[in-house]
């Protein structure tokens, strides 16, 4: 009998659980063109909506004439703010406690703002009618530079709240000022810096950009007037929150709203917010009684939904002569655009910017962020980022480099001196976070060794000599970065969005024959949840991952959750999955014990079964237990085998990584060739190494784009300069480098399986690594700070400003 039980390892492998590079279950449909994206959805009688948008960044809307548009055959309706006002829907709440116009209410505040919504039989007719809507504008001066927002005579943007001295995040000092947010000890920090031996000070700008997923945003709203039910399909990274918001603003009872996120073609934060297109589709469907589809085009996507970054970070960092950091000070001017629509937890108007002490043991720190209105599109989303962590990581990793310059010290050594030590975890940061776990020194040494850092520095020195001798026009840059992230928002006690606690959930049903379905409150946009969450469950409940269906995105069937962004799915929903699995296992234990006629405590878990302690040949597999739960009367135990878990994490998780980028820069062309990019990530327990590697490749490529060329640029008049993929830099396979990936594993002590999340790490850590490499190439010529993106002309300008073109 005993030899008939396959060995543990074999049974464990068959589960394809934790640690397995399981192939993705999602791929069958995507590789065959059978994905189910929002624009693939067709409903009978469906109409198409399209926006009239403002060509002006700032203007009064004097009148709107829709007659000519309405006369186009096939046009069903043209909605304006006047039509939405009786429903109270001409404005909507933003995620940041502000409100935003759904359609222009008397004025427009950014180029591309929604002015009217044309509803027609198809997108061609709608586009024709959009051209015929006559809008009479009175142009106003535009406010583009946030540093000019509060000067005398500055145009007042938000006349609706000009007199409100109290905003959603405290006092406002000017009509164009949104909030001031402080963290840390101001006086103590300023004293530390004031008396320090060495101080580095610099303005660090992380420029405005955009997540630009390959699929734009879109929705199909369908109001069933017979049953009073609204079904809203759309590109939502947080479908449950969208349902609640839709209910609150429309007045439709929440049980009468079903929100469905289909396959999503990339999100990266773009699809967290609620946009006028969603609201207008809903209203149009209510008005017409027909399903209404709205799909953004690329220009609309880039110019009206979800910008990211745009933080001007003035920093001071102080240290002893030996390089021990004594204090960090930061004042950030945050350009939020025309409406404060940042997607941050309510209590964090600048997100988790206060993780800006990074990987370093800094005794005292102070952060102050001022949010400012400008005539630009709203957004401020967490673009592949956990709420401003990208900005924070860029800030500290640039400041460290600046300090190294002041100290005339190697930047790798400076980091080494200041890292939080392994034994200091859990570590209390000066700005109030409790880092769960880390082993920075081990990761750092592994990375430096992997790239042969000492040799690289020698080569760089030689190159510099050759350059000075006129033998080459190429300089070598070595970009270092050690980042610490804060992800997995988050504990309900301090994280909510619009009052909704940021827990997440998983519900599991085991079928009689031993296969299962699990549903989560999150939604994949390419992360492969259907693959990885089944792996977590397989290891927890001993049912092969291949026998577990995973569903997300339908609010009628999935348990409530706050969705997928900020690398929160694995830390929060992944934990809920493990916890729900443990509930299943606990019940299975009782059933097994009953079937084996022993006490509950006399059976033990063995990969995919419960066996009698000391008698492994006496067991019940999960398959047998599942069937028994549906077929037998078990005293004291309810029939069936299901569980649900709502998981409120006790803390955030703190993934970290060591990245090194080596590039060769031609000072005459400004072209930087990425020679090597080494990325070591520590995301705690690794669920699926193949998927982790894929996430790292993708995140690094977004970091490459952002740091080396991508920007959402406005001219001085407030016009968008990079509104299509002609000018908005997205690298192709030709420009994109290859990456070397590596890892260490430091599990999170508070997460049920020790996982920390990884999707955003490469973007958070990648940008400073690329940028630091550019700066490093010019360090010996005296460069301190040059703003991103480091495109050809800006790199050329560095060289030119340093006098390297004279020879």
Partner 1 sequence: MEKMHLKMTVNGEEMETLAEPRELLIHVLRERLNITGPHIGCETSHCGACTIDMDGKSVKSCTVFAAQAGGADITTIEGLGNPDNLHVLQEMFKEHHGLQCGFCTPGMITRAYRLLQEIPDPTEEEVRFGMSGNLCRCTGYQNIVKAIMAAATEMNATKEAAQ
Partner 2 sequence: MIPAAFNYHRPDTIEGAVKLINEFGDEARVVAGGHSLIPMMKLRMTGLSHLVDLQGIGGLKGISVDGDTITIGAMTTQHELIVHKQLSSRAPIIAEAALQIADPQVRYVGTIGGNVANGDPGNDMPGLMQCLDAIYSLQGPSGQRSVPARTFYEAAYFTEREEDEILTSISFQATGGGYAYEKQKRKIGDYATAAAGVLIEKDGDKCSAASIALTNLADTPIYCEAAVAALVGTALDPGDVGAAVKAAVDASDPSEDNRGPIEFKKHIAGVVIRCAIERAIERA
- Residues recognised as catalytic: 237, 384-385, 760
Cβ at position 51, least distance to partner 1 in Å: 15
Q: Which span (141-149, 315-323, 455-463, 785-793) binds partner 2, by CB under 8 A? A: 785-793
Nearer to partner 1, 210 or 482 (CB): 210
Nearer to partner 2, 131 or 197 (CB): 131
Cβ at position 669, least distance to partner 1 in Å: 20
299 binds partner 2 (CB under 8 A): yes
Contacted by 581, from partner 1, partner 2, none: CB < 5 to 8 Å by type: none
CB atoms < 10 A from the CB of 566, how many?
35
Cβ at position 721, least distance to partner 2 in Å: 6
Under DSSP, the state recorded for 257 is E
Q: How far apart are CA 38 and CA 504, in angstroms?
A: 24
Nearer to partner 2, 296 or 552 (CB): 296
Contacted by 331, from partner 2, partner 1, none: CB < 5 to 8 Å by type: none
CB atoms < 10 A from the CB of 439, how many?
18
The H or E element spanning position 299 is helix 298-304
Nearer to partner 2, 261 or 301 (CB): 301
Which of 182, 434, 642, 727 is the binder for partner 2 (CB under 8 A)?
727
800 binds partner 2 (CB under 8 A): yes
803 binds partner 2 (CB under 8 A): no
Q: How far apart are CA 325 and CA 404, in angstroms?
A: 11
Spatial contact of 685 and 570, defined as CB atoms under 8 Å apart: no
Cβ at position 722, least distance to partner 2 in Å: 6
Contacted by 212, from partner 1, partner 2, none: CB < 5 to 8 Å by type: partner 1
What Cα–Cα distance (Å) separates residue 775 from each residue in 477, 559, 626, 659, 673? 7, 48, 60, 15, 14
The H or E element spanning position 334 is strand 325-335
599 binds partner 2 (CB under 8 A): no
Q: How far apart are CA 62 and CA 6, in angstroms?
A: 78
Contacted by 791, from partner 1, partner 2, none: CB < 5 to 8 Å by type: partner 2
Under DSSP, the state recorded for 547 is G
Contacted by 631, from partner 1, partner 2, none: CB < 5 to 8 Å by type: none
- 3-state SS, residue 106: coil
Nearer to partner 1, 63 or 733 (CB): 733
The H or E element spanning position 682 is strand 672-682
CB atoms < 10 A from the CB of 5, how many?
15
Burial bucket for residue 716 (CB in 10 Å: 0-12, 13-18, 19+): exposed
796 binds partner 2 (CB under 8 A): yes
Looking only at residues 683 through 712 of this chain, which bind partner 2 when binding is defined by CB under 8 A? 709
Nearer to partner 1, 31 or 320 (CB): 31
Place of tokens 């970091």: 703
Rg (CA), the chain: 28
Q: How far apart are CA 700 and CA 96, in angstroms?
A: 29
Nearer to partner 1, 702 or 776 (CB): 702
Cβ at position 539, least distance to partner 1 in Å: 21
Query: Which of 456, 454, 472 is closest to 464 using CA atoms?
Result: 472
Cβ at position 653, least distance to partner 2 in Å: 36
201 binds partner 2 (CB under 8 A): no
Cβ at position 694, least distance to partner 1 in Å: 5
805 binds partner 2 (CB under 8 A): yes
51 binds partner 2 (CB under 8 A): no
Residue 358 CA from chain centroid, whole number: 18
Contacted by 805, from partner 1, partner 2, none: CB < 5 to 8 Å by type: partner 2
Looking only at residues 731 through 750 of this chain, which bind partner 2 when binding is defined by CB under 8 A? 731-732, 734-735
Contacted by 797, from partner 1, partner 2, none: CB < 5 to 8 Å by type: partner 2
Spatial contact of 260 and 239, defined as CB atoms under 8 Å apart: yes
Contacted by 664, from partner 1, partner 2, none: CB < 5 to 8 Å by type: none
Nearer to partner 1, 63 or 738 (CB): 738
Q: How far apart are CA 237 and CA 745, in angstroms?
A: 29
Cβ at position 127, least distance to partner 2 in Å: 4
- 3-state SS, residue 673: strand
Q: How far apart are CA 301 and CA 307, in angstroms?
A: 9
Nearer to partner 1, 29 or 458 (CB): 29
Cβ at position 237, least distance to partner 1 in Å: 12
Spatial contact of 512 and 631, defined as CB atoms under 8 Å apart: yes
Nearer to partner 1, 264 or 350 (CB): 264
297 binds partner 2 (CB under 8 A): yes
722 binds partner 2 (CB under 8 A): yes
Q: Please list the residues that pair with 517 across neighbouring strands.
A: 509, 549
Contacted by 335, from partner 2, partner 1, none: CB < 5 to 8 Å by type: none
Nearer to partner 2, 127 or 450 (CB): 127
671 binds partner 2 (CB under 8 A): yes
DSSP secondary structure string for all residues of 411-445: HHHHHHHHBPPGGG-SEE-TTS-EE----HHHHHH
797 binds partner 2 (CB under 8 A): yes
In the complex, which residues of this chain contact partner 1 (CB under 8 A)? Answer: 23-24, 26-35, 37, 39-40, 42, 122-124, 212-216, 263-266, 268, 295, 297-298, 525-528, 690-691, 693-695, 697-702, 724-726, 730, 732-734, 736, 738-739
Name 340's Cβ contacts closer than 8 Å, sequence gap at least 6. 94, 96, 97, 98, 167, 168, 178, 179, 349, 371, 373, 378, 380
729 binds partner 2 (CB under 8 A): yes
Query: Which of 294, 385, 373 is closest to 341 using CA atoms?
Result: 373
DSSP secondary structure string for all residues of 192-204: HHHT-SEEEEEEE
Nearer to partner 2, 439 or 702 (CB): 702
Cβ at position 301, least distance to partner 2 in Å: 11
485 Rama class: left (phi>0) / alpha (psi -120 to 50) / beta: beta
Angle in degrees, CA 701, 702, 706, rounded to 5: 120
Q: How far apart are CA 493 and CA 506, in angstroms?
A: 20
Q: How far apart are CA 677 and CA 413, in angstroms?
A: 20
Looking only at residues 124 through 143 of this chain, which bind partner 2 when binding is defined by CB under 8 A? 124, 126-128, 131
Cβ at position 306, least distance to partner 2 in Å: 19
Which of 14, 713, 717, 802 is the binder for partner 2 (CB under 8 A)?
713
Spatial contact of 289 and 220, defined as CB atoms under 8 Å apart: no
Under DSSP, the state recorded for 744 is -
Contacted by 713, from partner 2, partner 1, none: CB < 5 to 8 Å by type: partner 2
Which residues contact partner 2 (rule: CB under 8 A)?
123-124, 126-128, 131, 297-299, 668-671, 709, 713, 721-722, 726-727, 729, 731-732, 734-735, 791-793, 796-797, 800, 805
């Amino acid at each position: 009998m005993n030899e008939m039980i396959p060995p543990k390892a074999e049974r464990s492998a068959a589960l394809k659980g934790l640690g397995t590079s399981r192939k993705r279950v999602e791929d069958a449909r995507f590789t065959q063109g059978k994905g189910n994206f929002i624009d693939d959805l067709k409903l009978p009688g469906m109409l198409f909506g399209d926006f009239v948008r403002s060509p002006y960044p700032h203007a009064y809307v004097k009148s709107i004439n829709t007659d000519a548009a309405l006369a186009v055959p096939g046009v069903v309706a043209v909605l304006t703010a006047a039509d939405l006002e009786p429903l109270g829907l001409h404005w909507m709440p933003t995620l940041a406690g502000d409100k935003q116009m759904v359609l222009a209410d008397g004025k427009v505040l950014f180029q591309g703002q929604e002015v009217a919504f044309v509803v027609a039989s198809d997108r061609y007719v709608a586009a024709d009618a959009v051209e015929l809507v006559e809008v009479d504008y009175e142009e106003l001066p535009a406010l583009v530079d946030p540093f000019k927002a509060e000067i005398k005579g500055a145009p007042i943007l938000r006349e609706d709240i000009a007199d409100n001295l109290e905003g959603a995040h405290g006092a406002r000092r000017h009509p164009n000022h949104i909030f001031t947010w402080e963290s840390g000890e101001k006086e103590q920090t300023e004293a530390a810096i004031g008396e320090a031996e060495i101080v580095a000070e610099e303005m660090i700008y992380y420029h405005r950009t955009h997540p630009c997923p390959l699929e734009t945003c879109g929705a199909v709203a369908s109001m069933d007037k017979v049953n009073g039910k609204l079904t809203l399909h759309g590109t939502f990274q947080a479908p449950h929150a969208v349902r609640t918001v839709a209910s609150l603003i429309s007045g439709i009872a929440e049980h009468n709203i079903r929100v469905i996120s289909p396959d999503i073609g990339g999100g990266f934060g773009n699809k967290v917010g609620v946009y006028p297109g969603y609201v207008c589709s809903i209203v149009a469907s209510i008005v017409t009684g027909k399903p209404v589809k709205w799909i953004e085009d690329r220009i609309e996507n880039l110019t009206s939904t979800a910008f990211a970054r745009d933080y001007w970070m003035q920093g001071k960092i102080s240290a002893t002569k030996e390089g021990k950091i004594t204090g960090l000070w930061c004042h950030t001017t945050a350009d939020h655009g025309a409406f404060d629509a940042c997607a941050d937890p309510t209590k964090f108007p600048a997100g988790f910017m206060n993780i800006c002490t990074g990987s370093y043991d800094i005794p005292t720190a102070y952060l102050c962020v001022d949010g400012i209105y400008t005539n630009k599109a709203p957004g401020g989303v967490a673009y592949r980022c956990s709420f401003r962590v990208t900005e924070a990581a860029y800030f500290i990793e640039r400041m460290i480099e600046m300090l190294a310059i002041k100290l005339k010290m190697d930047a790798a050594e400076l980091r080494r001196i200041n890292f939080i030590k392994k034994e200091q975890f859990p570590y209390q940061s000066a700005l109030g976070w409790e880092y769960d776990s880390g082993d920075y020194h081990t990761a750092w040494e592994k990375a430096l060794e992997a790239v042969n850092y000492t040799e690289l520095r020698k080569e760089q020195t030689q190159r510099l000599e050759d350059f000075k001798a006129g033998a080459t026009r190429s300089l070598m840059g070595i970009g270092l970065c050690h980042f610490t992230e804060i992800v997995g928002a988050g504990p309900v006690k301090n994280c909510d969005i619009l009052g909704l606690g940021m827990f997440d959930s998983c519900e599991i049903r085991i079928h009689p024959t031993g296969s299962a379905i699990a549903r989560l409150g999150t939604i994949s946009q390419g992360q492969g949840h259907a693959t990885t969450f089944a792996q977590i469950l397989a290891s927890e409940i001993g049912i092969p991952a291949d026998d577990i269906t995973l569903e997300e995105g339908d609010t009628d069937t999935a348990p409530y959750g706050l969705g997928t962004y900020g690398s929160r799915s694995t830390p929060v929903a992944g934990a809920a999955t493990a916890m729900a699995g443990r509930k299943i296992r606990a019940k299975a234990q009782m059933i097994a014990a009953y079937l084996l006629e022993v006490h509950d405590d006399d059976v033990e878990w063995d990969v995919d079964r419960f066996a009698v302690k000391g008698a492994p040949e006496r067991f019940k597999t999960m398959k047998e237990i599942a069937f028994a739960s549906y077929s037998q009367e078990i005293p004291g135990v309810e029939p069936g085998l299901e569980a649900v878990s709502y998981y409120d994490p006790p803390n955030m998780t703190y993934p970290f990584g060591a990245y090194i980028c080596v590039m060769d820069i031609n000072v005459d062309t400004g072209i930087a060739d990425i020679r090597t990019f080494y990325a070591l990530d520590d995301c705690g327990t690794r669920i699926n190494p193949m998927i982790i590697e894929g996430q790292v490749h993708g995140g690094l490529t977004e970091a490459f784009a952002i740091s080396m060329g991508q920007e959402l640029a406005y001219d001085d008049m407030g016009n968008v300069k990079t509104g299509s993929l002609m000018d908005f830099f997205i690298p192709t396979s030709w420009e994109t480098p290859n990456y070397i990936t590596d890892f260490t594993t430091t599990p999170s002590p508070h997460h049920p399986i020790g996982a920390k999340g990884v999707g955003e790490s490469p973007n958070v850590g990648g940008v400073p690594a690329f940028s630091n490499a550019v700066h490093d190439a010019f360090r010996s010529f005296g460069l301190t700070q040059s703003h991103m993106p480091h495109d050809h002309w800006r790199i050329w300008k560095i060289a030119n400003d340093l006098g390297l073109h004279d020879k």
